[in-house]
Every structure is written in structure tokens, then in C-alpha cells.
Structure 1
Amino acid sequence: MRIKWLGHSAFLLSAADGTAIITDPYLSGSFNGEVKYGSIHDAADVVTVSHHHQDHDGVSGLPGKPKVIEGRGSHKVGSVSIVGVETFHDENQGAGRGRNTVFVFDADGVRVCHCGDLGHVLTAQQASAIGKVDVLLVPVGGTFTVDAAGARKVAAQLAATVIIPMHYKTDKLGFPIAGLEDFTQGEQNVKRVGSAEVELSAHKLPPEPEIWVLDHAL
């Protein structure tokens, strides 16, 4: 399984059989230009959408006609099993910002969880439905999602081995949210990958939990 961070909450997941999935594609230039990441030109078989905000549901800007998956349920695309678990975009059962879907991707012996715009620490029922994950793609910027402390709690709930932060303030994002340093400050287990892409297998996972910081591709 190859994981490429395109930017914001958008990742390209590529399985060994060639199945390609894009998570939460942003619409470049949306929110009055606050989303400054470049347009996504990668092709995908499937796009998952956690919720309908323009920084997460920019399917119209993608090439081709990928299958769009949203909401809870189970799917199989090529060698990849996909499960959607219903959560919320806020701490008030969705009253503030609506529902959010957490997606779990299982392929090549690796379980990857994409949290979308998760706005709360998981309930026991939600954590059980998701299960233990190898790789956690989790928002850390706060304000509209869990903050650094909340993200750490979610990582512990899911016993994640590799934690890849997303949805935080960068030079390509004008949102009033926290930067990466709030999440990594004081942590000893931070690995700066130095690229936008990593390749993972069950045999390449670290023995202890680590935070992997990717560069945004766009």
C-alpha cells in the first residue's frame, strides 16, 4: 500500500493490484481562495467523501469518473475493502456541523483509517466498529475538527501504529486552525519523512507508535 498526501485531507491510496483511491479531495481555490493547494490530477477508481464541504468533496475537479463512496456501509473495490463508520463533525452529535464518515481501508495486509473532519473523541461503539488500525490519517488543527489532544486520544483508542497528521495550518491553507507544531511538540516519536509518499506493508510497520509527517504533494 502506497500513501501519498496530496494536501489538506486528500490522500491517494494505491494498492498493490493497482486499485487507486482518493480521500476527501479538496476543491482548489475554494473558500474564497483559502484552499491554496494545487488542483488534483491523479486518477482514481474510487473517491471517498467524509462530508459535504468544498475542502472535502471536490469530486468535480478530478479526472475521469471515479466511483464516489460516502456514508456508512461496506464496499469492495479491487483488492481493497472499505468500511464507512458514522461519526460527527462536532462535539454535539452533529448539531453544529453535521455528520462525518470515518473510512477504513484494508488492503495488502495494512489497515488505514481516514478520519475525515472528525470533531470528537470516539465513543466506545465507534471505536469498536472501526477496530485497531495500522495507519491513522487524523485531523489535528482543531476549531473545525479534533485538536492535537483529541487526535492523540483517537490514536490511542484505535491503537494506531503510524499516525499521519492532516487538516492543519500550512502555507497552502488560510483557515484559522492550528499548525502541525501543536501536535508534534514534546513528542519523541516524530519521523519527518521528507516526501509526500510512503510505502507500507505489514512487515514495514514500526514496533512502537510513531508520528509520520509527510510533505504535501500539491
Structure 2
Amino acid sequence: MTPRFLVFAIACLMVLIAAEAAVAQEERKNVSQCQAIAQSIPQATFASVTGPAPIVGAGATGQSVTLTYIGHSTFLIETPGGVTIATDYSGWYSPPHVPMVVTMNRAHSSHYTLATDPGIQHVLHGWSDVPGERAKVNLVVGDTYIRNVTTDIRGGFGAPQTDGNSIFIFEIAGLCIGHLGHLHYELTEAHYAEIGRLDVVMVPVDGGLTMGSDSMSRVIKRLRASLILPMHQPRPLQSFLSMFGPDFDISYAPTNTITVSLGTLPKKPLIYVAKGMQ
């Protein structure tokens, strides 16, 4: 073996090792701490967290996340690191600036679009176009880790479409933030295990197109989030709110924006109704 060939072989080996290390590092980085915490504490109550939860890109857990209700099922999420995310993005309800990331669900055209602004860096579909497969989102953008849990939806003539909807989960600054999408069926224990802990949850309210108020309230009570943000349809809101007793507080916000951190989560579950949902 000539010295030149030996140097070349060593260089190739080093490149291969570096590539494998980068993949391994990415796999280690893309680990849901919200899910891991939930699965490691049997029968736990996840209404609030008093200590820091290390997550991907968490930084200081005292940092705040801003959520602005844009309309229908679209919230704009703004992270401490400057990442902007629009949920169930259709273009009908647009943030003031082009977001870096958009998530979509396909139950109705008001929850997705196939014509996105080229300035959007990441377009995340909550469904798979490959028959028999489900969407799998496992993405780190800046200080945010994004993953999904798929659920079935009603298709034509009421027939279920397997894995047609995604619950998107955003892990930011120690917070576990969930968006239920266009949820059509109550969740199974397997779903709850896959979701893990949620501190903040965006819940569709409409009394029929997704689920009735009683069914949706059972999901919310089971998720045990500290902060509940109604969305989708204002008309059935009072019916939805009537399903919650004294264990929940209800607040009507003066604006469409709320800023929250791990340390400012309410001790008692709070349903926070944005101005646009009133």
C-alpha cells in the first residue's frame, strides 16, 4: 500500500466517521423530553411543571414563548430564538410576516394549502401522500423541536381516513405546546402516551365538524394541560366552556396574544379565550 493511498484511505475513513457522528448527534438531539418525562412517571398529573425540563434548544427555561391567535385554527408561535411558526396554515389567515415554519392538516381547505409562499422554509404536512404510511415529523428548527402524533379523520360519507390528521407538538424553552389540528375522534391511551406531557394545548371548538363539546372536553381533561387555548369556531364556545367545572379557570383575553414561560404557567388549569374567539 503506497503512502498516498494510505493517506487517502485514512481521509475517507475520517469523513465516514464524522458523518456517522453527525447522524448520531442529530438522533440524540431529536429526542422528545416532553414525551420521555410523561412515559417515565406512571399515573402522573401533568397540569404544571415546577422544575426545568431539558429539551432540544431549551436555553433558559425562564424564556417566554408568544402565541398569537390569527384566526380559525391558525396561531403564530414566536420562540425566544426568533423561530416563527404558523399552525394549520391555509393562507386564509396569515401572520403579519411570512413564518419560517408552517404546519397543515387536510380535513378542510381552511387548514392547508398547496400553494405556499416561497419564503416559508419548512412546510410540514400532517398527512402522508403515500398509501398506508403516516406522516412523520421529527424536526429541529433553531430552538424548537417539532414532532407529530397522527390521528384518524372522517373522510367522504363518514368513512375514517387513517392517520389523516396530525397533532403537532412544539418543544420550546422547556414548554410542551400541542395543537390538536382537526381532531375527529377521542384519543386512545396509545395517543396519550405518544403525546406525553402538554403544558399548553390549542383545541378546536365547533360542536360537530371536529367533535362535540362533551367529547372534546374529555380529551382536554385527560391531557391535563395548564393552559388551554380554544380555536376554530367562536359560535359553540359557550357550550364547550360549560363542560368544565370549578377545577378550571376561564379568562377572556383583551387581545389575541399571550406570552408564557415555564415559570408563569397557571397553577390551576386555565382556559384562555383569545379576543378573536369571543
Task: Give the TM-score taking structure 2 as reference length.
Answer: 0.66
The alignment of Structure 1 onto Structure 2 pairs a total of residues equal to 199
Separation (CA, whole Å) in 2 of partners of 1:12 and 1:46: 10
How has the CA–CA distance of structure 1 residues 40 and 58 changed in structure 2, closer, same or farther, with 3 Å as cutoff?
farther
| CA contact 1:5–1:214 (8 Å) conserved in 2 | yes
Q: After TM superposition, which residue ranges in structure 1, 4 or more long, deviate above 4 angstroms?
A: none
User: Which residue is 1:58 aligned to?
Assistant: 113
- Unmatched segments (≥5 aa) in structure 1: 29-37, 170-177
How has the CA–CA distance of structure 1 residues 79 and 148 changed in structure 2, closer, same or farther, with 3 Å as cutoff?
same
User: Structure 2 matches for 1:165-184, cutoff 5 A?
Assistant: 165-169=230-234, 178-184=235-241
Pairing partner for 1:162 from 223, 227, 230: 227
Deviation at 1:117, TM superposition (A): 0.2
Deviation at 1:143, TM superposition (A): 1.8
Give 1:182's aligned amino acid.
S
User: Which residue is 2:128 aligned to?
Assistant: none
User: Which residue is 1:19 aligned to?
Assistant: 83
| CA contact 1:194–1:214 (8 Å) conserved in 2 | yes
Deviation at 1:96, TM superposition (A): 4.2
Separation (CA, whole Å) in 1 of partners of 2:191 and 2:117: 31
- Unmatched segments (≥5 aa) in structure 2: 1-64, 126-134
Give 2:271's aligned amino acid.
I
Where is the helix percentage greater, Structure 1 or Structure 2? 2
SS of equivalent to 1:160: coil
User: Structure 2 matches for 1:106-145, cutoff 5 A?
Assistant: 106-145=171-210
Compare 208-217 and 55-64 and name the one that shifted more.
Answer: 55-64
Deviation at 1:95, TM superposition (A): 2.6
User: Which residue is 2:18 aligned to?
Assistant: none
C-alpha deviations, 1:58-89, integer Å up to 9, x for none?
36365723310123331111110111111022
User: Which residue is 2:165 aligned to?
Assistant: 100
User: Which residue is 1:68 aligned to?
Assistant: 123
Deviation at 1:41, TM superposition (A): 3.7
| CA contact 1:42–1:62 (8 Å) conserved in 2 | no
SS of equivalent to 2:178: strand
| CA contact 2:207–2:236 (8 Å) conserved in 1 | no
Tell whether 2:198 aligns with 1:198. no
Compare 186-195 and 137-146 and name the one that shifted more.
Answer: 186-195
